[in-house]
């Protein structure tokens, strides 16, 4: 069941969105060669708790971190670790979520570590563009398939592939509500979008082939071909006038 939000509820969700975005920004600013993903995790937790928020991922299904930190060929759900030290030329996907007043915000971004190769830079640019294309399609009267189509079109036009096993989702008092928001699809198919839907739109785009595999820790997901992957995400609300981004400062 899709839980629609009233305009007042959407307003209330902006605070969780703002804090999620702040945590992501602060952690992104701290990304540099030599820092561990566990240090980034501690920073995110400090930012979220300092403003009275609760890390949304910590303890979710047993996940131990405040952030998901996924480097290079790691797609999503990397567990922060003191052993993972960022190196120049890496890319790191960071996902942060905060709960404020019972509402959840969820967002992600892939950051460069120092100077990165032109092909990695392009992967980041295209993945972000695909996210914005998906957000642009999130308006009343469109369908879920229009979001997926928009994302897939941008990613595949650039020669990349879209991960199919993981999707965006509804967001509310739970981090993962219905519907699943696929990052591929056909126009005018699927659930019709309407005012009051709050969705996390989050393409995962691979430089190589789309296939992924789960790693033995039960969380980490990597590309099968070992090529890099990027992930951008924002939580948005669909209003009569179109989408508004909730995960922004
Ligand atoms: Mg999400």
Mean pLDDT of 181-203: 98
| Cα 134 to ligand 1 centre (Å) | 14
| Cα 120 to ligand 1 centre (Å) | 22
64: Cβ–Cβ under 8 A, 6 or more apart, which residues? 58, 79, 80
| Cα 26 to ligand 1 centre (Å) | 19
Tell me the two tokens of residue 131: 């996210």
Mean pLDDT of 197-203: 98
The Cα 160–Cα 152 span in angstroms is 9
| Cα 95 to ligand 1 centre (Å) | 8
Q: Which residues of 57-85 are buried (b: 16+ CB within 10 A; e: fewer)?
A: bbeeeebebbbbbbbbbbbbbbbbeeebe
Q: Angle 7-30/37-50 helices, nearest 10 degrees?
A: 140
pLDDT bracket for residue 98 (50, 70, 90)? very high
The Cα 41–Cα 169 span in angstroms is 23
Mean pLDDT of 96-115: 98
Cβ(26)–Cβ(50) under 8 Å?
no
| Cα 33 to ligand 1 centre (Å) | 26
pLDDT of residue 35: 98
| Cα 196 to ligand 1 centre (Å) | 18
| Cα 83 to ligand 1 centre (Å) | 25
pLDDT of residue 228: 98
pLDDT bracket for residue 144 (50, 70, 90)? very high
- CA dihedral of residues 118, 210, 177, 126 (deg, nearest 10): 20
pLDDT bracket for residue 119 (50, 70, 90)? very high
The Cα 26–Cα 67 span in angstroms is 12
Tell me the two tokens of residue 107: 């967002």
Mean pLDDT of 76-89: 98
| Cα 171 to ligand 1 centre (Å) | 8
pLDDT bracket for residue 51 (50, 70, 90)? very high
Q: What is the helix (H) or strand (E) element at residue 238, kind and residue range?
A: strand 234-239
pLDDT of residue 162: 98
| Cα 57 to ligand 1 centre (Å) | 10
Report if pTM > 0.95.
yes
pLDDT of residue 29: 98
pLDDT of residue 24: 98
pLDDT of residue 75: 98
């Amino acid at each position: 069941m899709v839980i629609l939000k009233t305009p007042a509820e959407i307003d209330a969700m902006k605070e969780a969105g703002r804090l999620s975005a702040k945590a992501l920004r602060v952690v992104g600013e701290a990304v540099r060669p030599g820092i561990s993903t566990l240090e980034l995790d501690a920073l995110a937790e400090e930012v979220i708790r300092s403003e009275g928020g609760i890390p949304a991922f910590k303890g979710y299904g047993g996940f131990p971190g405040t952030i998901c930190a996924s480097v290079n060929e790691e797609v999503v759900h990397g567990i922060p670790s003191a052993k993972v030290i960022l190196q120049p030329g890496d890319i790191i996907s960071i996902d942060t979520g905060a709960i404020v007043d019972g509402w959840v915000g969820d967002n992600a971004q892939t950051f460069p570590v120092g100077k990165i190769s032109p092909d990695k830079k392009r992967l980041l640019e295209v993945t972000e563009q695909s996210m914005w294309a998906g957000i642009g399609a999130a308006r009343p009267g469109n369908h879920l398939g229009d979001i997926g189509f928009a994302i897939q079109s941008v990613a595949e036009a650039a020669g990349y592939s879209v991960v199919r096993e993981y999707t965006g989702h509804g967001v509310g008092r739970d981090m993962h509500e219905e519907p699943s928001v696929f990052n591929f699809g056909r126009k005018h198919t699927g659930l019709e979008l309407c005012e009051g839907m709050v969705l996390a739109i989050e393409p995962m785009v691979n430089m190589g082939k789309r296939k992924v595999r789960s790693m033995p820790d039960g969380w980490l997901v990597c590309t099968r071909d070992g090529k890099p992957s990027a992930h951008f995400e924002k939580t948005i609300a669909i209003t009569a006038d179109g989408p508004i981004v909730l995960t922004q400062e």
